[in-house]
Amino acid sequence: MDIRQALPEGCKVETPTPETQLHDVVSRWSDAQVSLPYAVVTPLSSEDIIAAITFASQNNLKIVPTNGGHGSYVPITSKTLYLDMKNFKDISLDEEHSEVTISGGCLSGEVLKYLAGSGEGWFTTLPNANPVGVVGAFLGGLSHSLNGLKGFGIDHVRSITIIPFSDQKARTLTPGSRGGDGDLLNVLCGAGHGLGIVTSITLKAWKISSLNMNDDKIWTRRLIFPAPAISTAAELYTSLTQQEGGIAPELTAVLAFLRAPPTAPVPGAPMIMVALNFFGPSSEADKVCAASFEEKYVDKATVKVTVPTPFEALNEGVEALNAHGGFKEYHGCFCAEIDEKSIVEAFEAWKGFTDGEGLKKRGRSYVVVGSWSTGQLLKHKKETGGRFFDARERGVFVQAAPWYADSKDKEEADGFGKSVVQSMRQRDEEKGLQKRTFVNNLIAGQDMREVYSASQIEEIKRVKGIWDPRSVGWSPVIEGW
């Protein structure tokens, strides 16, 4: 049966031909792992989704739901039914119960701005890039800018509404669910890929005023260093994040290697940025981040600025990294500890990859290192068992993203990404710590034992066997690459 006949009238269906241009039907952050799908289906209702699941099941297709298009590790092939959730845009704030319900097509920036503009101003746990889909981020744990204060997004789930691939009926799960429903909810919290189509999630919400920030604005400080000052930047970053007693819960610190934009005095020059966001009173931020004002650091920075940032503008500083198209991969890891030597080695690998001829072809490649307090993450682990996010004791996240135009550069790009990860893991390896990787930042062929424990992998397989017995969905643990 033709797919158009199988789906309800009004449900948009696009079936590519060999002549169809990929970007006319699929827009993803990366062109890696993407070819023309069997069809692109844009549902308007749960009934449309159920019909699409039925068709996929009967025709040996894989359904891949999409929203922001940032899951570059998910393969799209001629056997993929690409389910575009962009019509599911409802956001509903329940101030009485301090929770927000977010539909399956909502992007982080949409929810961020909606909540910040509602009532006295609210927030919840959201991805730290505006065009990233909230549900997709949630299925991988939902790491965000306030990890240190709140823990992960999965720690604050109130309910999940899902159409499982097995019975194709919408069901709502809560932390109080028991039996098979309870097991399904648990796996959805951190290992949720390929079990069904999530049409909405409900998360806890907080008033922005509860953070006690001056004028409800985020204390933000940025220092940018030139390449010769990499050791100085590394020293500053580690002094702020690797201190005895740990990083302050209110502080999120980011270290980034970037090329200067075309509008800069020296376009394409290598830059090291130290970015600090403090979700608390400015007076406390000044104390916690006092090192960033020290003369030995300030004198070597070409840019040093401290500004209050409106909450709704939290993610605007990374917009340049969100552009769709080109080849990109996520090479990443979680670390317990990094040092200056590792940072310098990673910087040299990035600089070498983007220098010379590489500047034109892959100058948008970047490295980002984020650090946060692990106290709340470990507290929630005691309360919930950690759900399916094991790396809660690791307070450093590393992401190296090669960004290149020609697929022939992939081998060199992979070499760059792997070298950054290897450098950053040195301290952990010296201590004999297990390698850890973030499920929402995978590379094709990823060893999933770096993400989940052996017992978790067995549970994922068991639960998927119940809720997706015909393997309609894609999971990195089961179907892989």
Residue range 5-42, pLDDT digits in tens: 999 999 999 999 999 999 999 999 999 999 999 999 99
Angle at 329 between CA 429 and CA 369, to 5 degrees: 50
User: How would residue 476 be classed by pLDDT, with cut points 50, 70 and 90?
Assistant: very high
User: How would residue 271 be classed by pLDDT, with cut points 50, 70 and 90?
Assistant: very high
Range list of β-strands (E), 95-207: 99-103, 122-123, 157-164, 171-173, 196-204, 206-207
Domain spans of the chain, in order of start: 3-84, 91-209+457-467, 212-436
CA distance 476 to 481: 7
CATH dotted code for 212-436: 3.40.462.20
Mean pLDDT over residues 182-200, rounded? Answer: 97
In this structure, are residues 332 and 399 in contact, taking their beta carbons and an 8 Å threshold?
Answer: yes
The matching CATH number, chosen from 3.40.190.10, 3.30.43.10, 3.40.50.970, 3.20.19.10, for 3-84 is 3.30.43.10
pTM to 2 decimal places? 0.96
Range with lowest mean pLDDT among 335-339, 359-363, 402-406: 359-363
Mean pLDDT over residues 448-473, rounded? Answer: 97
CA distances from 59 to 75, 80, 198, 246 (A): 18, 11, 22, 53
Architecture of domain 91-209+457-467: 2-Layer Sandwich (3.30)
User: How would residue 242 be classed by pLDDT, with cut points 50, 70 and 90?
Assistant: confident
How high is the pLDDT of residue 238?
A: 97
pLDDT at 338 over 80: yes
CA distance 381 to 379: 5
In this structure, are residues 75 and 442 in contact, taking their beta carbons and an 8 Å threshold?
Answer: no
CA distance 172 to 137: 19
pLDDT at 375 over 80: yes
For the stretch 294-332, pLDDT in tens is: 999 999 999 999 999 999 999 998 998 999 999 999 999
Q: Which two tokens mark 26?
A: 């699929």
| Helix H or strand E segment including 274 | strand 270-278
CA distances from 8 to 3, 40, 42, 79, 199 (A): 10, 14, 11, 21, 18
Q: Which amino acid is at 284?
A: E
Question: Is pLDDT larger for residue 390 or for residue 138?
Answer: 138
CB 376: neighbour CB atoms within 10 A? 19
Contacts (Cβ under 8 Å, ≥6 apart) of 427: 335, 336, 337, 338, 339, 342
How high is the pLDDT of residue 5?
A: 92
Mean pLDDT over residues 227-241, rounded? Answer: 97
pLDDT at 244 over 80: no
Render 389-434 in DSSP notation, one character per residue.
--GGG--EEEEEE-EES-GGGHHHHHHHHHHHHHHHTHHHHHTTPP
User: How would residue 216 be classed by pLDDT, with cut points 50, 70 and 90?
Assistant: very high
pLDDT at 385 over 90: no
Rounded mean pLDDT of the chain? 96
How high is the pLDDT of residue 125?
A: 98
What share of the chain has pLDDT > 90, as a percent? 93
Contacts (Cβ under 8 Å, ≥6 apart) of 418: 331
In this structure, are residues 159 and 173 in contact, taking their beta carbons and an 8 Å threshold?
Answer: yes
Q: Which residues pair with 14 in a beta bridge?
A: 40
